[in-house]
Amino acid sequence: MKIENLETIARKLVAPGKGILAADESSGTIEKRLKGINVPSNEENRRMYREILFTTNGASEFISGVILFDETIRQKSRDGRSFVEVLEQQGIEKITEGLDGLRERLTEYRKLGARFAKWRAVITIGDGIPTRTCIDSNSEALARYAALCQEGDLVPIVEPEVLMDGTHTIERDFEVTEQTLRSVFDSLAEHRVVLEGILLKPNMVLSGKESPQQASVQEVAEATVRCLKRVVPAAVPGIVFLSGGQTDQQATEHLNAMNRIGNLPWQLSFSYGRALQAPVLKAWKGDTANVSAAQTAFHHRAWCNSKARFGKYTEDMETAKAA
């Protein structure tokens, strides 16, 4: 394991103005998304949809890496290039997720051209949960995965997600997120994971989805930054937020407000799935005649989030063209 290589890749992924596209939906999730636009979820439609995303001209200005599902890293574009080659030619890094039988699969993915991996642990807030045991066992699993990644020369993206489902307040979300992140970094230290060679993919600190009291954009930004400052060491090169249940615009507004706070020890970036892809699906509708419109929608959404990386996003950009 060459730590310098891992550090270089981790920093490249959070280069100013860039973020990660999470295109790693499981078969069930992508089926639900395609069903939403009345498109059958067969392998060819999934392949066609991924190709729209991966071949968008100019996307590499704003997208540094793509998280791929196991099926996708093995697929090819219409012209016969593997998706790994397509992304390489755009200068975009590849990541894989869904790692059972970990050590062996990490070796295989590395040979297929992946440079980093992602593992997600889910924490739910409810009556009497999460328990300390739940948080600690999830943290232990994330740390073991991260150590194996670094051993296999891959940058681990560590994703502890506190779900926004529920009626909890932003204060309760803060408390659970802080506890979770503290536990994760304790476990990473125990497993001797080199922090300079990882990225953290956490939730933002939000009100529960069904909470009658919804926090403002500024409140979310301040609470999230305060929470991260308490527990995330400055050695971590970057934090790439998940969008969770937020709309595409909310995810951009929250990231923008955090970057406006400034003076932070890490890069604050994005690793969005639905928040980058929702407009693309809406424009595509499964029709090849709409591919150009779908790619324009993806480029525009990525551009808005790139601006948010600098705290320079404004609502007017929603109707403007990428410049």
Sign (positive or negative) of CA dihedral 84, 86, 87, 91: positive
- The answer to whether 265 touches 200, Cβ cutoff 8 Å, is no
User: Do residues 179 and 215 lie in contact, with contact meaning Cβ atoms separated by under 8 Å?
Assistant: no
Q: How many degrees, rounded to 5, is the angle at CA 302 between CA 86 and CA 19?
A: 75
The CA dihedral of 40, 248, 16, 200, to the nearest 10 degrees, is -80
CB-based contact 90:299 (threshold 8 Å): no
Cα(212)–Cα(311) distance, integer angstroms: 28
Nearest to 200 by CA among 8, 29, 14: 14
What residues act catalytically? 159, 201
The radius of gyration computed from the CA coordinates of the chain, to the nearest angstrom, equals 19
Three-class SS string for 23-76?
ECCCHHHHHHHHHCCCCCCCHHHHHHHHHHHHCCCCHHHCEEEEEECHHHHCCE
- Are 120 and 159 in contact by the 8 Å Cβ rule? The answer is yes
**CA atoms of 164 and 248, how far apart (whole Å):** 15
Residue 4 burial (CB count, 10 A):
9
